[in-house]
Amino acid sequence: MASLMDNLIEVLEEENTQYEKLVELSQVKKQAIIQADIACLEDVTNQEQEVSSQLRNLDIRRDAVLKDMSDVLGKDFREMTITKLIGYLEQQPKEQERLSEIRAKILTTGQQMQAWNKRNEALLKQALEMAEFDLTLFRSMRQAPETANYDKNAYNTGTLLGNSAFDTKQ
């Protein structure tokens, strides 16, 4: 059981390290969004995907260790969580404390990551709104207003004013 506990704590510490990398990347992403640096944003996204892949592998390893621990403890794997495992370790306060500490670290890192994701989401929405505003402005600049010309039946002819800045006819 001790080696399983060491394996679990090792995996959880590696997971926390990867989540901390995601927090750092979120900070870089914020600057890339603010500066509209698409190349940097693309690079950060690729790095985030690599970290996510590593986190998926760690998740699989963690589940394997938890399954082994649930077999040793005689508990159902589907109901096994880190919090429940901490409760099962009442007879082993040292391991219980180590597991509680790493769980608290992961929760803190997760909260930081969530806060950065919300900030970046708001920045991205604002950037998209600004781009949409710019596009609308450019479209409206290319359109000329209609003249108030009417045909003999009193219908608007819909003639557009010319695009030139001045009239060369005199």
- The DSSP secondary structure of 113-151, one letter per residue, reads HHHHHHHHHHHHHHHHHHHHHHHHHHHHHHPPPBP--B-
- CB-based contact 32:123 (threshold 8 Å): no
Residue 160, pLDDT > 60, answer: no
Domain annotation covers residue 115 = yes
Q: Please check whether residue 29 lies inside any domain of the structure.
A: yes
Residue 162 forms part of a structural domain: no
> DSSP letters along 6-54, please?
HHHHHHHHHHHHHHHHHHHHHHHHHHHHHHT-HHHHHHHHHHHHHHHHH
Mean pLDDT throughout 125-136? Answer: 89
Instruction: With respect to residue 65, please indicate whether it lies within any of the assigned structural domains.
Output: yes
Reading the block at residue 119, the tokens are 């900030």
> Is 170 domain-assigned?
no
Residue 151 in domain: no
Per the domain annotation, does 37 fall within a domain? yes
Three-state DSSP class for 152? coil
Digit-coded pLDDT (tens) for 136-150 = 888 777 665 556 666
CATH number at residue 6: 1.20.58
Whole-number Å distance between alpha carbons of 82 and 79? 10
Reply yes or no on whether the pLDDT at 3 is more than 70: yes
Separation CA 158–CA 147 (nearest Å)? 7
- The residue ranking higher by pLDDT, 149 or 116, is 116
Structural domain that includes position 90: 2-142
DSSP structure string for 55-97? HHHHHHHHHHHHHHHHHHHT--GGG--HHHHHHHTTT-HHHHH
Diameter over CA atoms, the chain: 102
Structural domains in the chain (count)? 1
Residue 99 lies in a domain: yes
pTM, rounded to two decimals: 0.74
Reported as a single tens digit per residue, the pLDDT across 10-52 is 999 999 999 999 999 999 999 999 898 999 999 999 999 999 9
pLDDT band per the 50, 70, 90 thresholds, residue 161: low
